[in-house]
Structure 1
């Protein structure tokens, strides 16, 4: 675990405001080059990317989905996917950190009151980061919650324990998914440092090591009424809330795949040797079987990105005109992209070693981080159920269920 003592994050400066899709992509490329430099060291030593995360949110990229009428750039889903993919290609932990933040922004767009939108959007535009207190351990399924919200005077009190709390340790605000007596989910947004709210840095996974996705303890946490959003409404009617969450996850996986292929190409060019039965190649990069495999990986990556872009277009339609048909089409398109991005992330991070040879497994290269990150992040939701949803949609004309995992 990181030995760094984590201080409560404060907003000390106002973030840059991005004004267009093109600017968002350009800023992402610039940051990616900065984040690439010590990405391997951060992974190896479990160093939390505190300075990098500050640069990331202060760049304005965490506010790009805020609608233009509230001062944001209101960028397209395609741009969101590209930004996440660009960052994830160099450091998937950093690429994953804004995922829940962006989903919270989407739920505020969908279900928050006008006053809530103006309050929280202004915070995000200034550089505030939302963490995540969503999933719990020990329940029958990931969608069942024991964390409860109870009326308390003019506000509410929340109690429970969360895990897989990506970004919560380094967030300014922690949105807590909680249920009322009827089992309906709400989002209770608590500011970091609120009495009874404790974030524990106990994330010990072998992959995505620096997302600080550990435990959040919620003990009699008081939340004002104006900071509680009825997010159950997003799934009681057709909205793009669910597929938006999955879309960002798929973009992370595409970035992981891209980074793994890039690492394979670099290692093969610099270090790998031709096999003894190859009597003609002077360099491993001339091995015809290696050339074939790299071509296959690139082809599969481009296919996955094409489906990711296609799903972004479907999401754009569903966001503009949400109904049963448009939301189902978006969910299925995102599911298709998620299947291919998962498969290429796992394949590329495995082929990296097959094509590079035994020496590539040495700890000094830390190339196993690509496989560890791919294996960990792709476990977020099972692709086997994506196939079922896709097949049922096309074969039996059954729309997929509405929830955050589809």
Structure 2
């Protein structure tokens, strides 16, 4: 997720470019009691979601039924604070829930990322009334998507605009890479407006069923194929003033919006890597053949295979530890946001993202190196782990994570405040 990206016009597949249906009215979900309950529910759901993950990916079957189960479980409301009726789980628990689901199905793990992100934007910049309203909608089972990334232009006149309309506003523009919007009841949308002669940026919560909203299911990337990350067009869409919250203004002071967004991405990559390792182990035990020079009967006894499995496991465990450490530092910064504490959170999360990126890609690659040619059969769908990791880790470049970390330790340069770090 990039917060202020201006992106090249995407290439789309005509067969996919059909207006998407709106989600069904929500049903009241279960209530998650606490952190332990959230993890218990996530593990049970992941076991269900893993069953059809390869088929959904191969046939590009959008996971409507799975998302309804996911939402009904109560997990989409776990960051709503206790005073508003939610579980108020820790950042560490949220990251682990996302990793668990992503290990089963990387697309399902990514879809709620912007939902949690929008709730963090509300926590930081929304009024008490706005927080109560949207927390209530989430507790009722409504999902938040996103329409953040702009297509093609930085020119103000060509960007998605917010214009006054009586006691409310109108939204006009087009977005792409709108993960989750297809399945959402509300679409938090990055908009620009002119106020007192200057350009300002806001996040407008647009109802999915509002007149003038058109979602097109035209995402055809080779990974994360069923995230619903297509395009959204807004044609003179009415939004109420109470549905608009500050956005870039929240980055002008030290806030945790950026590192919060990034730890969610780290958790997705971690989960995909863990899923790849979990798929590697039974295939090596049951199907792979040892190399002739190993002099052993089973691939699981091949000493070089054993060594590589150990290496993958260690790297993933190290990545998991960095995510957990980053979650603790992020929590401290949320409680006391200062220039230094937010910078420390951003660096801790950047360290986690650097390792989750490389570890997930490596786990997906070595699955085939250790499992052998038999693992490449299309019906198995084992390639989805690498494709999902490669696609998701392109959200922002890992090379800039290392730059931020190195500049912080070497030159005491605090990282920039934005949603991509």
TM bracket (short chain): over 0.9
Are 1:305 and 2:292 an aligned pair? no
C-alpha distance in structure 2 between counterparts of 1:12 and 1:105, whole Å: 18
Give, in angstroms, the shift of residue 7 of structure 1. 3.4
Residue in structure 2 matched with residue 275 of structure 1 by the alignment: 291
Are 1:174 and 2:190 an aligned pair? no
Unpaired runs of 5+ in structure 2? Answer: 1-14
C-alpha distance in structure 2 between counterparts of 1:208 and 1:229, whole Å: 29
Q: Secondary structure at the match of 1:159?
A: strand
Farther-moved stretch of structure 1 (375-384 vs 232-241)? 232-241
Give, in angstroms, the shift of residue 4 of structure 1. 11
Q: Is the 8 A contact 1:36 1:91 kept in 2?
A: yes
RMSD: 1.8
Give, in angstroms, the shift of residue 226 of structure 1. 0.8
Residue in structure 2 matched with residue 118 of structure 1 by the alignment: 132
Residue in structure 2 matched with residue 100 of structure 1 by the alignment: 114
C-alpha distance in structure 2 between counterparts of 1:64 and 1:403, whole Å: 24
Q: Could you tell me which of 311, 333, 348 is aligned with 1:296?
A: 311
C-alpha distance in structure 2 between counterparts of 1:65 and 1:362, whole Å: 40
Are 1:72 and 2:86 an aligned pair? yes
Q: Secondary structure at the match of 1:293?
A: helix
C-alpha distance in structure 2 between counterparts of 1:166 and 1:19, whole Å: 28
Q: Could you tell me which of 137, 142, 145 is aligned with 1:128?
A: 142
Q: Could you tell me which of 290, 303, 316 is aligned with 2:331?
A: 316
Write the deviation string for residues 311-336 of structure 1: whole angstroms up to 9, x where unpaired: 00001001111111110000000000
Residue in structure 2 matched with residue 339 of structure 1 by the alignment: 354
Q: Could you tell me which of 383, 388, 400 is aligned with 1:373?
A: 388
Q: Secondary structure at the match of 1:364?
A: helix
Aligned length: 404
Give, in angstroms, the shift of residue 71 of structure 1. 1.0
Q: Is the 8 A contact 2:266 2:352 kept in 1?
A: yes
Are 1:148 and 2:187 an aligned pair? no
Higher relative contact order (CA 8 A, sep 6+): 2
Give, in angstroms, the shift of residue 69 of structure 1. 1.1
With over 3 angstroms needed to count, the CA separation of the structure-2 counterparts of 1:152 and 1:51, relative to structure 1, is same
Residue in structure 1 matched with residue 12 of structure 2 by the alignment: none
Q: Is the 8 A contact 2:17 2:218 kept in 1?
A: no
Give, in angstroms, the shift of residue 364 of structure 1. 1.8
With over 3 angstroms needed to count, the CA separation of the structure-2 counterparts of 1:150 and 1:2, relative to structure 1, is closer
Superposed counterparts of 1:26-41, under 5 Å: 26-41=40-55
Q: Is the 8 A contact 1:253 1:377 kept in 2?
A: yes
TM-score by length of 1: 0.97
Q: Secondary structure at the match of 2:79?
A: coil
Are 1:261 and 2:281 an aligned pair? no
Q: Is the 8 A contact 1:136 1:145 kept in 2?
A: no
Write the deviation string for residues 282-313 of structure 1: whole angstroms up to 9, x where unpaired: 11000000000000000000000000000000
Are 1:358 and 2:377 an aligned pair? no
C-alpha distance in structure 1 between counterparts of 2:402 and 2:17, whole Å: 42
